[in-house]
């Protein structure tokens, strides 16, 4: 059965703070979370829209060079942007693709943008990024548990 909530962690684990998305997924996997499916990938593609089928909510987690510290949390809407012309789509473009590939109405969507600083190949995440990640994990675990409680009510 499809879990109502999907968390997608985006990034390359070998590129410094780009690993924040996959690392968040690893840490969530160690938690006892109900009704949540975890997915990690290097980058978003149009077929990720199919992963959104039957979901109540999707959360995209990615490193960001633009967000405030330690992270930003914001709602996303489907958006026709020019990331369609790249090998990697933005989360908004994936939501936009939902209607095109049969998912029809995209689920509720949020972005967890974790502030990163360095993205060199072979580097480990820096200490500041790791602190941001810890804060993001704490926040997201609380959020997911709160949502699970509400579903049970």
Partner 1 sequence: MSHDLETAAHPEGLRRVAIEPLSRVEGHGKVTLLLDEDGHVQQARLHIVEFRGFEKFIQGRPYWEAPVMVQRLCGICPVSHHLAAAKAMDQIVGATRLTPTAEKLRRLMHYGQILQSHALHFYHLASPDLLFGFGSDAAKRNIVGVAAEYPDIARQGVLLRKFGQEVIRVTAGKRVHGTSAIPGGVNKNLSREERDGLRKEAYQVIAWSREAVALARRLFEQDLEAHLRFGHFAAHTLNLVREDGAMDLYHGGLRARTVDGKTLFDHLDTDRYWEVIFEEVKPWSYMKFPYLRELGPQDGWYRVGPLTRVTQCDFIPTPLADAERRAFLAFDAGRATGATLAIHWARMIEMLHSAEAIKELLNDDDLLGDDLVVKGERQSRGVGVLEAPRGTLIHHYKVDENDLITRCNLIVSTTHNNQAMNEAIRSVAREYLDGREITEGLLNHIEVAVRAFDPCLSCATHALGKMPLQVELLDADGGCIGTLTRNGE
Contact residues toward partner 1 (CB under 8 A) are 10-18, 39-43, 45-47, 49-50, 62-67, 80-88, 93, 96-97, 100-102, 113, 116, 119, 121-122
User: Please, which residue, 92 or 147, has the CB nearer to partner 1?
Assistant: 92
Taking the least distance from each CB to partner 1, the nearer of 24 and 147 is: 24
**Smallest separation (angstroms) from partner 1 to the CB of 30:** 17
Query: What's the rounded Cα separation, in Å, for the pair 73 and 130?
Result: 17
Pick the closest to residue 66 from 16, 124, 116 (CA basis).
Answer: 116
Side-chain-side CA neighbours of 133 within 13 Å: the count stands at: 24
Between CA 31 and CA 33 the distance in angstroms is 6
Minimum CB–partner distance for residue 56 and partner 1 (Å): 22
CB of 5 to partner 1, least distance (A): 18
Hey, what are 105's tokens?
């109405």
Shortest separation between residue 96's beta carbon and partner 1, angstroms: 6
Q: Which is nearer to partner 1, 84 or 151 (CB)?
A: 84
Radius of gyration of the chain (CA): 15
């Amino acid at each position: 059965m499809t879990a109502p909530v999907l968390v997608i962690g985006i990034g390359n684990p070998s590129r410094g703070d780009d690993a924040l998305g996959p690392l968040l997924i690893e840490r969530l996997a160690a938690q006892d979370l109900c009704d949540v499916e975890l997915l990690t990938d290097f980058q978003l593609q149009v077929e990720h829209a199919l992963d959104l089928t039957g979901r109540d909510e999707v959360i995209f987690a990615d490193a960001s060079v633009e967000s405030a510290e330690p992270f930003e949390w914001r709602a996303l809407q489907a958006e026709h942007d020019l990331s369609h012309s790249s090998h990697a789509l933005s989360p908004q473009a994936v939501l936009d693709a939902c209607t095109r590939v049969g998912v029809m109405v995209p689920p509720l969507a949020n972005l967890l943008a974790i502030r990163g600083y360095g993205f060199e190949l072979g580097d480990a995440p820096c200490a500041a990024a790791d602190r941001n990640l810890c804060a993001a994990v704490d926040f997201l675990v609380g959020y997911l548990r709160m949502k699970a409680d509400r579903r049970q009510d």
